[in-house]
């Protein structure tokens, strides 16, 4: 592993060192043709979207409120928050605030960096844990922009995989029908309320016409994956990962994530192990914590320091 401490606000005498390190990274990027990105909330911080585990992140700020009965820390994104009306209302309000923030945000330089590599035909896939939808604003979900001669046409599905869903859509708690999170639905979330599922309501009316027994009506909830919850698109994600592994990615870049989610850690390990047996394959990890004790440490670790 080659550790790199890259500073963006050091005095001028560090510019030469930073320039050398950046050239090393750019040389790796230039040679790579099948890049895998794995990103987390850290890449959206400069867009004004808080991450989760940093001192100013969602988990820490929720603990500082000290409101009786309030969701604290990671409980904000726990499946248990949907089990009773009080915690469910808090979750809806939190998601509404986060969506309002995301609606007014623009993609960060990191989003544009990934997009630029995609337009050059260098990206095999970008896997994001983010739910803010900034990848879509940056064009990362538009596969037509990222056609590459290095990648078989059968694998030209969306270049960005949203591992945990996004806050701009909702799904029914019963029938799983999906809808856009409209202004009307968002307004109800702001009040801590949910909306009844249109599909379920249609089925209820149809059953009334045929004098059938009534059925339950589901509620629309944010289409995001919560802790302790089954991933409704888990099998599709595993299938995509398997296809990408078969295409022999030559560079793995991990940015903006602490790699605390077990499924994501397993995915990183799969790509890292696969690439170790590929000649010339490299891993680049950008985060604060030194990963040298990990089972599959990256070849290049970038500790990025900024004034923020």
Residues in the chain: 308
Question: Annotated catalytic, 190?
Answer: no
Distance (Å) of CA 264 to CA 132, 133, 290, 308: 18, 19, 18, 27
Question: 160 labelled as ligand-binding?
Answer: no
Q: Which two tokens stand for residue 63?
A: 């603990």
Active-site entry in 5, 111, 164, 230 = 164
- Positions of E strands within the chain: 2-7, 35-39, 123-128, 160-162, 165-172, 178-180, 195-196, 219-224, 251-255, 282-286, 300-305
Angstrom distance (rounded) from CA 12 to CA 72 = 43
Rounding to the nearest 10 degrees, give the CA dihedral for residues 113, 119, 125, 129: 40
Q: How far is CA 261 from the centre of its chain?
A: 11
Angstrom distance (rounded) from CA 95 to CA 58 = 12
Bridge-based pairing state of the strands 300-305 and 251-255: unpaired
Residue 161 neighbours by CB under 8 Å, 6+ apart: 125, 126, 127, 128, 237, 240
Rounding to the nearest 10 degrees, give the CA dihedral for residues 153, 158, 162, 166: -160
Which spans in 277-308 are helix H?
Answer: none
Is residue 297 within 8 A of residue 1, CB to CB? The reply is yes
DSSP string, 103-120: HT----HHHHHHHHHHHT
Binding-site entries for Zn(2+): 172, 175, 197, 200
Binding-site entries: 172, 175, 197, 200
Residues designated as active site: 164
């Amino acid at each position: 592993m080659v550790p790199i401490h890259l500073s963006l606000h050091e005095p001028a005498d560090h510019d030469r060192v930073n320039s050398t390190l950046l050239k090393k990274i750019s040389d790796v990027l230039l040679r790579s043709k099948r890049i895998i990105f794995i990103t987390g909330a850290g890449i959206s911080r400069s867009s004004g979207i808080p991450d989760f585990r940093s001192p100013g992140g969602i988990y820490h700020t929720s603990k500082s409120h000290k409101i009786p009965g309030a969701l604290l820390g990671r409980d904000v994104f726990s499946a248990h928050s949907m089990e009773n009306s009080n915690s469910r209302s808090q979750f809806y309000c939190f998601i509404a605030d986060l969506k309002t923030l995301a609606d007014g945000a623009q993609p960060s330089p990191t989003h544009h960096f990934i997009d630029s590599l995609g337009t050059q035909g260098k990206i095999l896939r970008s896997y994001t844990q983010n739910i803010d939808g900034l990848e879509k604003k940056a064009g990362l979900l538009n596969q037509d922009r990222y056609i590459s001669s290095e990648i078989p046409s059968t694998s030209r599905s969306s270049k960005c995989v949203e591992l945990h869903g996004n806050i701009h859509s909702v799904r029914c708690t019963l029938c799983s029908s999906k809808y856009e999170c409209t202004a009307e639905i968002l307004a109800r979330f702001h009040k801590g309320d949910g909306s009844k599922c249109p599909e379920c309501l249609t089925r209820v009316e149809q059953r009334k016409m045929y004098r059938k027994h009534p059925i339950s009506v589901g509620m629309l909830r944010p289409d995001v994956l919560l802790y302790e919850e089954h991933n409704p698109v888990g099998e599709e994600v595993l299938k995509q990962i398997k296809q990408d592994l078969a295409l022999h990615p030559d560079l793995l870049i991990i940015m903006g994530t602490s790699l605390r989610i077990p499924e994501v850690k397993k995915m990183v390990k799969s790509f890292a192990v696969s690439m170790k047996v590929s000649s010339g394959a490299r891993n680049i990890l950008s985060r604060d914590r030194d990963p040298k004790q990990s089972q599959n440490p990256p070849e290049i670790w970038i500790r990025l320091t900024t004034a923020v």
